[in-house]
Structure 1
Amino acid sequence: MTEHLALLPGWSYRAEVMQPLEQALAEHYATSLHALPTTARAGDWLDELDARIPQNTWLIGWSLGGMLAAEIAARRGKKHCPGLITLCSNPCFYARADWPYALDEATFRRFCEGFKENPEATLSRFDLLVSQGSANQREIARQLAALHLPARHPSLLAGLELLTTLDTRPALRQFSGAQRHALAEQDAFLPATFASKTRFALEGLRPSKNISSYLYDRNGHALPLTASAWLAREIISTVHSSHA
């Protein structure tokens, strides 16, 4: 049976931001891009995505998309979701007392307030943070800027609400299918001192031979754009290994 891979983007970006990775994977598998919901009701997002994404598909999500993919994978279970792959996606977007491996809460809260006051300027700053660590940061930032939803789109505030509230650790512990988590050492949203610790903490949520993680040491949060060929090889290897 041909594997189906569904790809979800990160906060504020259209589904097309995942096209470089999707095109690399489409040579080997059936693939589909799935935009994040555009409704302002954050509580409806998981139900909408679960209804829209085909059953029996691998879920691949970047950043917020990875957090949502983890929740859907746990809902569906291994029977209807053979595997989960997250890209620069932390179970908690900002640090908690029992999960220090993330952005500090005060920085995240300032970002949210800045977005409410001036969404256009905050999105521009966000693109620069996402592109940080890339060899050609300015070009990647320009590409990202062209792939945004409108700055005042109501779904962006809903997405920030989800980043505030989501903690996918229970979902990752629950899901028994294959898991692969790719992190980037120069990710602006993952403090450098925690990069390797986050990797092992993720694996520790559900110790299993079919759970693995990788720390890409020459890139930042924009991994799906800047390392699409490498990610495609890792994903292909992960899917293949799940049948071994």
Structure 2
Amino acid sequence: MKVSLLPGWGLGLAPLQPLADYLSNKHEVQLLPLPECTTAEQALDELDAQIPADSWLIGWSLGGMLATALAHRRGNSCPGLVTLASNACFVARNDWPHAMPQREFNNFSRRAARDWSGTLKGFQQLCLHGGQIEAVPAELSATASTDTESRLASLSWLAQLDNRTAIAELQCRQLHVLAEADALVLVGVTHDLQLLNPQAQVCSWPGSHAFVLTDHRELAAAVHAFMTGGAVNG
């Protein structure tokens, strides 16, 4: 099967490379960078042009939100969706509380604009918070080769995207995996995600937001099992 894999914000492709390598043992894998554009809609236009219509869409964090929006745009032509540590809304709404508070997100955005290097180091630690690894792996130390303007633009997509309708209306098979100790996407949203679409599989996984890197072998096996008709325990 064809698989298109989308990364999270700010860290480039390196954190997903080990997962992509393991998935490529069973599938035709395309690992794509986040588009360098202003709006989430423009990013979706670029991804829609780059990704084959018959490709499974898999994304980590922001990449999972873009994958969800693209799956919804494609409708019945999308064979399946897998999101990893990804919320329907990254920033909390009045009717979606299990997400990052707006004030906290605004403060983070201001820090990123003022001190990219320092903000990135703190973000790397947040990705690892709650997991078994304390030292930052080399894959998390690599950053996307984009300018500051592009990084800040893609950060704003986290506030813009609201995938609740997309998840509710998707007809393809969908799996949403949340990390139990995630400091960025709260595992408490599991029940709310399941209510959006009872046909979707929503499960939890041990570890931090960076479980896509630290547990990539087992995760690749679980994703493959789901893609070939199985379920993921969790």
Q: TM-score range by the shorter chain?
A: over 0.9
Kindly indicate whether the alpha-carbon contact (under 8 Å) linking 2:12 and 2:145 is maintained by their aligned counterparts in 1.
no
1-side partners of 2:39 and 2:198: how far apart? 35
Name the TM-score, length of structure 1 as normaliser: 0.89
2-side partners of 1:176 and 1:165: how far apart? 23
Cα offset, 1:15, TM superposition: 2.3
| 1:90 partnered with 2:87 | yes
2-side partners of 1:41 and 1:92: how far apart? 16
Cα offset, 1:163, TM superposition: 0.7
1-side partners of 2:78 and 2:134: how far apart? 35
Kindly indicate whether the alpha-carbon contact (under 8 Å) linking 1:92 and 1:166 is maintained by their aligned counterparts in 2.
yes
1-side partners of 2:227 and 2:146: how far apart? 36
Kindly indicate whether the alpha-carbon contact (under 8 Å) linking 1:63 and 1:89 is maintained by their aligned counterparts in 2.
yes
Q: Which residue of 1 aligns with 2:225?
A: 237
Q: Which residue of 1 aligns with 2:139?
A: 143
Cα offset, 1:17, TM superposition: 2.4
- Alignment length (residue pairs): 230
Pick one of 198, 205, 216 that aligns with 1:216. Answer: 205
* Residues 57 and 33 of structure 1, relative CA distance in 2, 3 Å threshold: same
What letter is aligned with 1:21?
L
2-side partners of 1:83 and 1:66: how far apart? 12
Which stretch of structure 1 is more off in the superposition, 9-18 or 115-124? Answer: 9-18
Q: Secondary structure at the match of 1:60?
A: strand
Name the TM-score, length of structure 2 as normaliser: 0.93
- State how 1:27-176 maps to structure 2 within 5 Å: 27-78=25-76, 80-140=77-137, 142-146=138-142, 148-150=143-145, 152-176=147-171
| 1:227 partnered with 2:219 | no
* Residues 33 and 173 of structure 1, relative CA distance in 2, 3 Å threshold: same
Can you give the 5+ residue segments of structure 1 that lack an aligned partner in the other structure?
none
Kindly indicate whether the alpha-carbon contact (under 8 Å) linking 2:2 and 2:28 is maintained by their aligned counterparts in 1.
yes
Q: Secondary structure at the match of 1:138?
A: coil
Cα offset, 1:143, TM superposition: 3.0
1:66-104 CA-partner distances (Å, limit 9, x unpaired): 0000000001113x2110000000011121111111122
1-side partners of 2:5 and 2:121: how far apart? 24
Q: Secondary structure at the match of 1:189?
A: coil
Can you give the 5+ residue segments of structure 2 that lack an aligned partner in the other structure?
none
What letter is aligned with 1:95?
A
What letter is aligned with 1:205?
L
Question: How high is the sequence identity, in percent, across the aligned residues?
Answer: 38
What letter is aligned with 2:70?
I
* Residues 82 and 151 of structure 1, relative CA distance in 2, 3 Å threshold: closer
What letter is aligned with 1:15?
L
Q: Secondary structure at the match of 1:139?
A: coil
Cα offset, 1:225, TM superposition: 0.4
1-side partners of 2:53 and 2:13: how far apart? 19
